Amino acid sequence: MTDKIFQRPQSLKDVAFHYCPGCHHGIIHRLVAEVIDELGAGDKAIGIAPVGCSVLAYEYFNCDMFEAAHGRAPAVATGVKRVHPDALVFTYQGDGDLAAIGCAEIVHAAARGEKITTIFVNNAIYGMTGGQMAPTSLLGQVTNTSPYGRKEDGAGLPIRVSEMLATLDGTKFIARVAVNNPANMAKAKLAIKKAFEIQLKGEGFAMVEVLSTCPTNWGMTPLASSDWLETNMIPYYPLGTFKTPEGVLK
């Protein structure tokens, strides 16, 4: 019997991911699943998948899952959690899902202090539909719908969702992390665990924003994408904790 130091977590099915080579969704799925395993919460976990590249998340997590309409996962999660207050209800959303079409739903679920946990994957672009501008796309970033580079005049400036939600008194834990290197990954896992613990303790709404790469639509190799994230995204989207149950930090 081989002793394994590292293997697939129980809360992830043994199914190949459809994600592009080097896409961080795979890493983030695994971290979420590891945390669910470590918290012993697999039996009462209910995940809500978004519309976006991770629309098929319901095929990967080994727990009850919902597919939600674009942007509506926090509302779906509200309905689920109100029926099963003891369940561990989490949404997993991209930047179009959460920060564009779903902006009202996330703001209000957070403001109401819904006892759910949101994993917000921010890769500054719309992946599934082939690389259009996202609310979190950077100034000057070239995308399919900002072919001349995002201009402030006309497209405005990117939204810092974590900072924005941290101003809502109803939120209990807001953190921004990244998974583009092992050190960041370790901190990301701690934040995700904390966010789930906030729910399990019945404290309130928690969100972890995970900066991610999109090698395919950024037009770079996975390794180059990790560097681009470090150089370009982190200065605009600083990593750290913005809200704890004790209050706003920044």
Partner 1 sequence: MPRPVFNEERCKGCALCTKACPKKIIAISNRFNSKGYRPASCTDEAKCIGCSLCAKTCPDIVIEIHK
Partner 2 sequence: MTEKVLMKGNEAIGEAAIVAGCRHYFGYPITPQTELTEYMAKRMPQVDGIFVQAESEIAAINMVYGAAGAGARTMTSSSSPGISLKQEGISYIAGAELPCVIVNIMRGGPGLGGIQPGQGDYFQATKGGGHGDYRNIVLAPNSVQELVDITILSFDLADKYRNPVMLLGDGALGQMMEPVEFTPSSSVVKEKPWAAGGMRGRTQPNIINSLHLQPEELEKHNIHLQKKYAQIQENEIRYEELYTNDAELILVAYGITSRIARSAIEKARSEGIKVGMVRPISLWPFPAAPLAKLAVSAHAFLTVELSAGQMVEDVRLSVNGAKPVYFYGRTGGMMPNPKAIYEQIINVMSGKGGK
Contacting residues toward partner 2, per CB under 8 A: 42-46, 48, 55, 58-59, 61-69, 72, 75-84, 86-88, 104-105, 107-108, 112
Beta bridge partners, 94, equal 121
For residue 175, give both structure tokens.
């953190």
54 touches partner 1 (CB under 8 A): no
Nearest to partner 2 of 64, 163 (CB atom): 64
> Among 51, 226, 229, 243, which residue sits at the site for partner 1 (rule: CB under 8 A)?
226
Please choose which of partner 1, partner 2, none residue 6 contacts, taking the beta carbon within 5 to 8 angstroms, the exact cut-off set by kind: partner 1
* Exposure b/e, 58-88, CB count within 10 A at least 16 = b: bebbbbebbebebbbbbbbbbebbeeeeebb
d(CA 192, CA 176): 10
Q: What's phi and psi for 94, nearest 5 deg?
A: -95, -175
Beta bridge partners, 159, equal none
Nearest to partner 2 of 68, 177 (CB atom): 68
24 touches partner 1 (CB under 8 A): yes
Q: How do beta strands 171-178 and 240-244 pair?
A: antiparallel
Q: Which stretch binds partner 1 (CB under 8 A): 16-24, 83-91, 196-204, 242-250?
A: 16-24
Shortest Å distance, C-beta 118 to partner 2: 14
Which residues touch 196 (CB under 8 Å, ≥6 apart)?
Answer: 35, 36, 39, 41, 88, 90, 117, 206
92 touches partner 1 (CB under 8 A): no
Write out the residues near partner 1 by the rule CB under 8 A. 2-8, 12, 16-17, 19-27, 30, 181-182, 185, 215, 221-223, 226
